[in-house]
Amino acid sequence: MKIILIYPPFCSPSTMPHSISYLKSFISQSFNLKIKCLDLNAKFNKKRFKEFYSQKCSPEIFTEFDKVSRPIYSKNNKLIYQNNNPELFKEMLSLIKKESPDLVAFSLVYNSQCFYAQALIQELKKLNIPTLIGGPAVNHHLYEMSTFLVDEHQFADYIEKNYNLKRSVPKEVIPDFSDFDKKDYLTEEIVIPLRTSHSCYYKQCAFCTHHQSQNYREIPLEQIKKTIIKSGYKNVFFFDDMISKKRLLELATVLKPLKVKWWCQLRPSKELLGSFKTLYDSGLRSVSWGVESGNQRVLDLMCKGTNITDISKVLKESHESGIKNLVFIIIGFPTETKEELFDSIKFVENNSKYIDLISTSRFGLQRGSKVFMYPEKYGITEIKENSRTILEGQITYKVKSGMTPEDVKKFHHRYLRSFVKINKITKVYNYFKEQTLFL
């Protein structure tokens, strides 16, 4: 039996995918079968935008790539929406067919991958090749087209039940990046994505659904070390939504002798003070900080568990240790006023010396978040969901006080410049965050 694991277009082609590398390791240890990863996102981008791959990566190359690729992605999504084949469809399909798979499984991490995946699933159905889907971006339209599996355990249950294969318990799941071709990635050097834990130990932020209310579980440090050594790569992108100080310091001990450079995302809380020198010495070069707001009332309402004074100290100490600070700001958290938005602008101006890049986003109401579940606590008076053809419905809402969603849109455009002027790194690195390791 042969299984092909697909990572479909479109998303950034700068890192190898983690999800299918992990699945390959888990399933190949569970059963005696053939299994292969196919990163069609990387293959599509390399073929469609080949002119970018023959040049040395630079801020200009990434900026130009972003400018050229975005309209192509949307044009193709539109084609699929209108029931036409997207570009390079035959080529992508033939890469799957060439493997003569008995089963094809799709991993969907971003909404932008749902379109091309849908077109491929439809075509595979015509060829009588069964498909499976999984990942955080799967929506109810795709549930109807393919078999949805929650995780690797359900995947193994499915194989056991449907293919009558004998199953073993995997000993140590080391993500396997060996099926990917280094030349397929638009990157200065190969960066591998890894996680150190599942879910988030904090789980309090009112806007967040990333942890999906799952239990926090840590991956053994020895396993992380073996994965890096086995991959042979020297740059790591830890995509955990957040890592505790204790865990960061344990990681630093493991990573220092490996001489890797690494990136991670953190909550700027005061417990981190005093640890940045050790973290830098272990290879930490860039951090994305969930600052979210420069106004204390808004931070408290978000349950962020941080305060403005400590955030400044954290950014300063991190910067002075040589680490690049990338800062996330949310605009328009329900009840936020225009004056409170100005507090965020003032905050980044006052701390501009310590900030390398800012990523602003408008607040989006997520099903399952605390704001969605207890709207009255956040001044939300009405929630509506407008259905869409390929993606999950779009949620809109009204607020009792503060900026309306329309104001937020208007002010985001109007004051974007006030945030962007702080940037010391070209803004395209918000989409290629792991590349800040090479700046």
**210 belongs to the binding site for ligand SF4 (CB under 6 A):** yes
**208 belongs to the binding site for ligand SF4 (CB under 6 A):** yes
- Residue environment code for 141-163, b if the CB has 16+ CB neighbours within 10 A, otherwise e: ebeeebbbbeebeebbebbeeee
Select 123 or 292, whichever has its Cβ closest to ligand SF4. Answer: 292
**267 belongs to the binding site for ligand SF4 (CB under 6 A):** yes
Contact segment (CB under 6 A) with ligand SF4 among 15-23, 205-213, 217-225, 407-415 equals 205-213
Q: In angstroms, what is the minimal distance from the CB of 236 to ligand SF4?
A: 19
Select 29 or 369, whichever has its Cβ closest to ligand SF4. Answer: 369
Select 216 or 438, whichever has its Cβ closest to ligand SF4. Answer: 216
Select 141 or 210, whichever has its Cβ closest to ligand SF4. Answer: 210
Q: Checking phi first, is residue 128 left (phi over 0); if not, alpha (psi -120 to 50) or beta?
A: left
- Helix (H, G, I), strand (E, B), or coil: what is residue 327? strand
**211 belongs to the binding site for ligand SF4 (CB under 6 A):** yes
Select 258 or 395, whichever has its Cβ closest to ligand SF4. Answer: 395
CA 162 to CA 180: how far, in whole Å? Answer: 28
* Nearest in space to 155 (alpha carbons), one of 9, 3, 32: 3
**285 belongs to the binding site for ligand SF4 (CB under 6 A):** no
- Written as one letter, the residue type at 406 is E
- Find the Cα–Cα–Cα–Cα dihedral 424, 428, 430, 432, rounded to 10°: -120
**272 belongs to the binding site for ligand SF4 (CB under 6 A):** no
**203 belongs to the binding site for ligand SF4 (CB under 6 A):** yes
Whether omega for the bond prior to residue 10 falls within 30 degrees of 0, making it cis, is yes
Q: In angstroms, what is the minimal distance from the CB of 201 to ligand SF4?
A: 8
**371 belongs to the binding site for ligand SF4 (CB under 6 A):** no
**370 belongs to the binding site for ligand SF4 (CB under 6 A):** no
Select 148 or 328, whichever has its Cβ closest to ligand SF4. Answer: 328
Instruction: Identify whether the C-beta of residue 269 lies closer than 8 Å to the C-beta of residue 305.
Output: yes
Instruction: Identify whether the C-beta of residue 224 lies closer than 8 Å to the C-beta of residue 270.
Output: no
Instruction: Identify whether the C-beta of residue 22 lies closer than 8 Å to the C-beta of residue 125.
Output: no
Per-residue contact flags (x/-) with ligand SF4 for residues 234 to 263, judged by CB under 6 A: -------xx---------------------
**43 belongs to the binding site for ligand SF4 (CB under 6 A):** no
Q: Side-chain half-sphere of 205: how many Cα atoms within 13 Å?
A: 25
Select 52 or 363, whichever has its Cβ closest to ligand SF4. Answer: 363
Q: Phi then psi for 386, rounded to 5 degrees?
A: -100, 125
Residues that bind ligand SF4 (CB under 6 A): 200, 202-205, 208, 210-211, 241-242, 267, 290
